[in-house]
């Protein structure tokens, strides 16, 4: 099936080229047939890449090691669950995943908008096809997932043990969905600039799909952080790694866009700003994809230097130059229709929030790329470590959280004293009380953390106040029970309250970040069995060592007991696993002790704190036994192999079976010495407060994003239901002429009746 896969990549490439030509021809000649054909090319691209993906997955599932990628990233012992994820652990598979997801999302969006944005859509289709052509070309000619070998190995190299984690099943697809979804608003923005149609239709389409991209990208980022925290043995969730930053930058840019687009919607302002944000977000998404593959920046994610850097630089150059050219050439159509009335208004708050987000993107970009910038300027690569981010990101994050609280409750027009008193008094009071209480408790020594806690409380108070008042307003009109009123309020105003819920989630998340960054207790300690150490008021005792040997790996670990004030708190189990190496030079026994390693984190999570540990056992004391085993097998194996001559593979396997059984017994016996003759081992122990708030906050953010994204029946359809039901006017609503609904309502009556439903 590999030739089929290779051919399908070429077919996909040709479909993409056709899609570009057909869409552009249809747009220029105003021919619906050609435009529809161009759109179908995207659907066909999705179909063909789906078939290609299925072929690749099938190869992994049936352990077809004639496929190079299968041999390199899977094995017969890889669990089926992870075999499905293995394709995207490789450069080749991840490229195919990118074009597959992009074509799927593009197909969905072009289908949903097939009767809308008719002038913009053909150009957007052409640009999406161009992305498809680019990535398919890379997959077909530079990193082909269907490359084969005529001498397939009997066993594959297996999946990197670090990737054997549930988060790894969904983190890359979520991230890639975010990246590929950002290509869609990019394409629509470019199409809108080309056609000059940057008004309500474009706003409606772009906002929704940018929000979807934001949601997926955000979930992908958090899953990566979760994986880092629970799988990697360093105890953190964010390292300011270049590839982490590469995902964060487009997410921040998109956050700015989904806020500032509201100003364009309401006031016709910030048009240049908004198209620039969308184009920048799409470009940053491609930049992120590039960073992982080029090897230009050192990262644990980087796949090492590859030949893909040059094509990506070319694509980025086209995107940047094209974006700037389009914005400059269409600047006359991007003039603002209104001006900022007052700095004390919601418009000003949104604008300031945008500036802060863009400043964060700039800071992250500069520090991440500084090695290349410095090399270009001075000839020397200069790296700036993660501590360089803190002096900039922390103050900016504080301002951002403050604005997240101010934005929902400040008036659109301008603030008045009455407005200030009515809307700000309670939330500001909550924030101040929080700050005072925590300062009295002793947290004043960490002023930034204290500020974040106070501002987070302020944000949560504003959201609570808004929900309270909204429910009150609805109940005043409908007399519903509070829970029902709350649900219906959110259902009727999904954009608003979905956004408020997101703000609440961000506040919770950043409180968790502030607490875990500022109040972490950590110790790197060597303990013998029975030994104890004190950390952050907890007593942690190394109870006993553990060892386990399976066909897949050897594990050396420990059981630790955690107490506080003499009371048992938790039992932690941690281990370090060693996977057999395929390198024969390490010895028959030695290769089982010197292969890939991973850490099994011992974690007791709680609402107030996490207790986290990993063990790093030094296997030096086992070295004499391993060496002796290697020597014995070095003597026994060659004559045994000689005796296999003339035997069939099955007979040879049967003949060697006793030898392998002896090997396995030796490995188990050696490993068991870790338990029977234990020696001091190295533990990293961490007590980290409020880490779980990060995950809870992320879940709240995702829920809010989903609510904001969920489609609402159009107001026009609601209007028809309203007029049909002849709903009576709601008390307090402004009476309008011709308010009584009629079978053929006048426009003014329509406008009045459209909003006569409860809020």
Partner 1 sequence: MDLLIVLVVLAAVVTFVSAPLRRREPAAAGAGSELAELEAAREAKYREIRDAELDHRTGKLSDADFRAVDAALRAEAVEILHAIDTIRQR
Partner 2 sequence: MPSAEARPAVGRRSGHGYRRPGKGHVGKSGRVDPSRKRAIRLTVALTAALILASALVYVSFSAGRDEVTAGQLLRIARPGSSYILAGTVLDGSVRHDGTALLFRVRDPKLKVSVPVRYTGVVPDPFRAGRGVLVTVHEAAAPGAAFIGEANSLTTKCPSKYQAAAASY
Residues forming contacts to partner 1 in the complex (CB under 8 A) are 1, 3-4, 7-8, 11, 15, 18, 22, 32-34, 36-37, 40-41, 43-44, 47-48, 51, 115-119, 197, 199-201, 203-204, 265-266, 409-413, 416, 418-419, 422-423, 466, 469-470, 473, 476, 493, 495-496, 714-716, 719, 732-734, 736, 747-748, 750-752, 754-755, 759
What does the alpha-carbon distance between residue 705 and residue 577 come to, in Å, rounded to a whole number?
A: 38
What does the alpha-carbon distance between residue 328 and residue 279 come to, in Å, rounded to a whole number?
A: 13
Both structure tokens of 146: 């269907």
What does the alpha-carbon distance between residue 558 and residue 601 come to, in Å, rounded to a whole number?
A: 11
Partner in contact with 167, chosen from partner 2, partner 1, none, beta carbon below 5 to 8 Å by kind: none
Residue number, 412 or 519, with CB nearest to partner 2: 412
Pairing status of strand 567-578 against strand 521-527 = unpaired
In sign, the C-alpha dihedral spanning 345, 346, 349, 351 is: negative
CB of 49 vs partner 1, minimal distance in Å: 11
Q: Are 142 and 68 in contact (CB under 8 A)?
A: no
Place of tokens 């059981």: 559
Q: Which is nearest to 45 in space by CA: 123, 105, 4?
A: 105
Out of 204, 230, 374, 532, which residue is the one contacting partner 2 (CB under 8 A)?
374
Partner in contact with 44, chosen from partner 2, partner 1, none, beta carbon below 5 to 8 Å by kind: partner 1
Angle at 628 between CA 626 and CA 632, to 5 degrees: 115
What backbone torsions phi and psi does residue 755 show, to the nearest 5 degrees?
A: -120, 25
Place of tokens 């300027």: 377
Residue number, 440 or 744, with CB nearest to partner 1: 744
Kindly state whether residue 567 participates in binding partner 2, applying the rule CB under 8 A: no
**Contact code string over 319-338 relative to partner 2, x by CB under 8 A:** ------------------xx
CB of 708 vs partner 1, minimal distance in Å: 13
**Contact code string over 91-110 relative to partner 2, x by CB under 8 A:** x-------------------
Partner in contact with 387, chosen from partner 1, partner 2, none, beta carbon below 5 to 8 Å by kind: partner 2
Query: Applying CB under 8 A, which part among 4-12, 164-172, 384-392, 716-724 lies near partner 2?
Result: 384-392
What does the alpha-carbon distance between residue 695 and residue 701 come to, in Å, rounded to a whole number?
A: 10
For residue 448, what are the CA distances in angstroms to 216, 396, 405, 435, 567? 30, 11, 17, 11, 33
Q: Are 400 and 353 in contact (CB under 8 A)?
A: yes
Residue number, 228 or 493, with CB nearest to partner 1: 493
What does the alpha-carbon distance between residue 716 and residue 728 come to, in Å, rounded to a whole number?
A: 18
What backbone torsions phi and psi does residue 396 show, to the nearest 5 degrees?
A: -65, -40
14 sits in which H/E element:
helix 2-28
Out of 54, 317, 382, 436, which residue is the one contacting partner 2 (CB under 8 A)?
382
Residue number, 472 or 658, with CB nearest to partner 1: 472
Both structure tokens of 49: 């890449």
CB of 494 vs partner 1, minimal distance in Å: 11
**Contact code string over 135-174 relative to partner 2, x by CB under 8 A:** ----------------x-xxx-x--xxx------------
Contacts (CB under 8 A) with partner 2, residues 614-653: 616, 618-620, 637
Q: Are 415 and 343 in contact (CB under 8 A)?
A: no
* 610 strand-pairing partners: 688
CB of 491 vs partner 1, minimal distance in Å: 13
CB of 604 vs partner 2, minimal distance in Å: 20
Contacts (CB under 8 A) with partner 2, residues 648-677: 656, 660
What does the alpha-carbon distance between residue 179 and residue 236 come to, in Å, rounded to a whole number?
A: 25
Contacts (CB under 8 A) with partner 2, residues 254-283: 265-268
What does the alpha-carbon distance between residue 582 and residue 318 come to, in Å, rounded to a whole number?
A: 44
Partner in contact with 11, chosen from partner 1, partner 2, none, beta carbon below 5 to 8 Å by kind: partner 1
CB of 529 vs partner 2, minimal distance in Å: 17
Kindly state whether residue 413 participates in binding partner 2, applying the rule CB under 8 A: yes
CB of 425 vs partner 2, minimal distance in Å: 22
Out of 111, 366, 468, 710, which residue is the one contacting partner 2 (CB under 8 A)?
366
CB of 432 vs partner 1, minimal distance in Å: 21
Kindly state whether residue 63 participates in binding partner 2, applying the rule CB under 8 A: no
Gyration radius of the chain's alpha carbons: 30
Residue number, 467 or 526, with CB nearest to partner 1: 467
Q: Which is nearest to 415 in space by CA: 349, 352, 503, 467?
A: 349
Three-class DSSP category at 354: helix
Q: Which is nearest to 24 in space by CA: 194, 275, 203?
A: 194
Out of 50, 230, 306, 563, which residue is the one contacting partner 2 (CB under 8 A)?
306
Partner in contact with 359, chosen from partner 2, partner 1, none, beta carbon below 5 to 8 Å by kind: partner 2
CB of 649 vs partner 2, minimal distance in Å: 10
> 651: how many CB neighbours lie within 10 A of its CB?
11
DSSP state at residue 77: T
CB of 599 vs partner 2, minimal distance in Å: 6
Q: Are 413 and 345 in contact (CB under 8 A)?
A: yes
Residue number, 35 or 302, with CB nearest to partner 2: 302
Q: Which is nearest to 488 in space by CA: 710, 758, 208, 725?
A: 758
Q: Are 409 and 424 in contact (CB under 8 A)?
A: yes
Residue number, 596 or 720, with CB nearest to partner 2: 596
Both structure tokens of 350: 């949104």
CB of 641 vs partner 2, minimal distance in Å: 9
Residue number, 33 or 341, with CB nearest to partner 2: 341
Kindly state whether residue 370 participates in binding partner 2, applying the rule CB under 8 A: yes
Residue number, 73 or 474, with CB nearest to partner 1: 474
Kindly state whether residue 584 participates in binding partner 2, applying the rule CB under 8 A: yes
Kindly state whether residue 466 participates in binding partner 2, applying the rule CB under 8 A: no
What does the alpha-carbon distance between residue 217 and residue 254 come to, in Å, rounded to a whole number?
A: 10
Query: Applying CB under 8 A, which part among 184-192, 297-305, 319-327, 529-537 lies near partner 2?
Result: 297-305
**Contact code string over 195-234 relative to partner 2, x by CB under 8 A:** ----x--------------------------------xxx
Three-class DSSP category at 479: coil
């Amino acid at each position: 099936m590999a030739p089929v896969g290779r051919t399908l990549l070429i077919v996909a490439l040709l479909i993409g080229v056709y899609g570009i030509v057909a869409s552009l021809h249809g747009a220029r000649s105003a021919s619906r047939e050609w435009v529809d054909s161009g759109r179908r090319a995207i659907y066909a691209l999705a179909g063909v890449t789906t078939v290609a993906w299925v072929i690749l997955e099938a190869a992994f599932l049936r352990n077809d090691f004639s496929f190079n990628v299968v041999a390199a990233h899977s094995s017969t012992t890889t669990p089926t669950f992870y075999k499905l994820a293995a394709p995207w652990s490789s450069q080749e598979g991840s490229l195919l995943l990118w074009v597959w997801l992009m074509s799927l999302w593009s197909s969905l969006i072009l289908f949903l908008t097939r009767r809308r944005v008719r002038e913009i859509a053909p150009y957007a289709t052409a640009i999406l096809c161009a992305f498809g052509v680019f990535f398919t070309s890379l997959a077909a000619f530079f990193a082909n997932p269907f490359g084969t070998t005529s001498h397939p190995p009997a066993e594959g190299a297996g999946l990197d043990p670090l990737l054997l984690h549930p988060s790894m099943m969904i983190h890359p697809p979520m991230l890639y969905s975010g990246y590929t979804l950002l290509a869609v608003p990019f394409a629509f923005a470019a199409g809108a600039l080309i056609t000059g149609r940057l008004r309500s239709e474009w706003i409606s389409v772009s906002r929704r799909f940018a929000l979807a991209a934001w949601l997926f990208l955000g979930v992908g980022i958090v899953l990566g952080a979760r994986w880092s925290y629970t799988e990697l043995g360093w105890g953190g969730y964010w390292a300011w790694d270049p590839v982490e930053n590469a995902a964060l930058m487009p997410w921040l840019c998109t956050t700015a866009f989904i806020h500032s687009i509201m100003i364009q919607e309401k006031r016709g302002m910030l048009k240049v700003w908004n198209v620039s944000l969308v184009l920048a977000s799409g470009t940053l998404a491609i930049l992120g994809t590039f960073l992982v593959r080029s090897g230009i920046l050192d990262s644990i994610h980087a796949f090492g230097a590859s030949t893909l850097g040059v094509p990506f630089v070319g694509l980025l150059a086209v995107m940047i130059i094209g974006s700037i050219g389009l914005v400059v050439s269409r600047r006359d159509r991007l003039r603002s229709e209104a001006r900022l009335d007052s700095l004390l208004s919601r418009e000003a708050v949104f604008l300031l929030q945008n500036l802060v987000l863009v400043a964060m993107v700039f800071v992250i970009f500069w520090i991440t790329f500084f090695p290349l910038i410095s090399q270009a300027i001075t000839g020397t690569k200069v790296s700036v470590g993660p501590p360089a981010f803190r002096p900039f990101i922390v103050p900016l994050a504080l301002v951002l959280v403050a604005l997240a609280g101010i934005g929902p409750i400040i008036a659109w027009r301008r603030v008045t004293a009455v407005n200030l008193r009515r809307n700000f008094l309670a939330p500001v009071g909550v924030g101040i009380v929080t700050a005072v209480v925590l300062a009295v408790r002793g947290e004043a020594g960490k002023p930034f953390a204290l500020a974040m806690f106070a501002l987070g409380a302020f944000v949560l108070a504003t959201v609570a106040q808004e929900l309270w008042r909204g429910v009150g307003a609805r109940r005043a009109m409908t007399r519903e029970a509070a829970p029902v009123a709350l649900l219906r309020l959110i259902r009727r105003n999904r954009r608003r309250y979905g956004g408020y819920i997101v703000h609440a989630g961000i506040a919770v998340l950043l409180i968790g970040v502030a607490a875990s960054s500022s109040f972490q207790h950590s110790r790197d300690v060597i303990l013998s069995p029975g030994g104890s150490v004190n950390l952050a008021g907890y007593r942690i005792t190394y109870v006993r060592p553990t060892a386990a040997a399976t066909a897949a790996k050897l594990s050396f670990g420990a059981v630790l007991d955690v107490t506080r004030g003499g009371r048992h708190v938790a039992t932690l189990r941690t281990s370090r696993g060693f996977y057999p190496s395929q390198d024969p030079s390490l010895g028959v026994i030695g290769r089982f002790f010197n292969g890939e390693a991973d850490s099994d984190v011992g974690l007791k999570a709680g609402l107030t704190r996490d207790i986290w540990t990993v063990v790093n056992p030094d296997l030096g004391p086992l070295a004499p036994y391993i060496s002796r085993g290697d020597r014995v097998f070095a003597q026994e194996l060659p004559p045994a192999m000689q005796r296999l001559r003339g035997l069939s593979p099955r007979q040879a396997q049967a003949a060697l079976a006793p030898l392998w059984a002896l090997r396995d017994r030796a490995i188990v016996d050696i490993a068991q010495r870790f338990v029977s003759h234990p020696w001091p081992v190295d533990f990293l122990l961490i007590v980290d407060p409020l880490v779980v708030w990060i995950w809870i906050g992320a879940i709240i953010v995702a829920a809010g994003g989903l609510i904001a994204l969920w489609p609402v029946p159009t107001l026009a359809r609601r209007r028809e239901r309203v007029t049909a039901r002849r709903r009576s006017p709601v008390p307090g609503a402004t009476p309008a002429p011709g308010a009584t609904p009629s079978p053929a309502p006048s426009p003014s009556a329509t406008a009045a009746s459209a909003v006569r439903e409860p809020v």
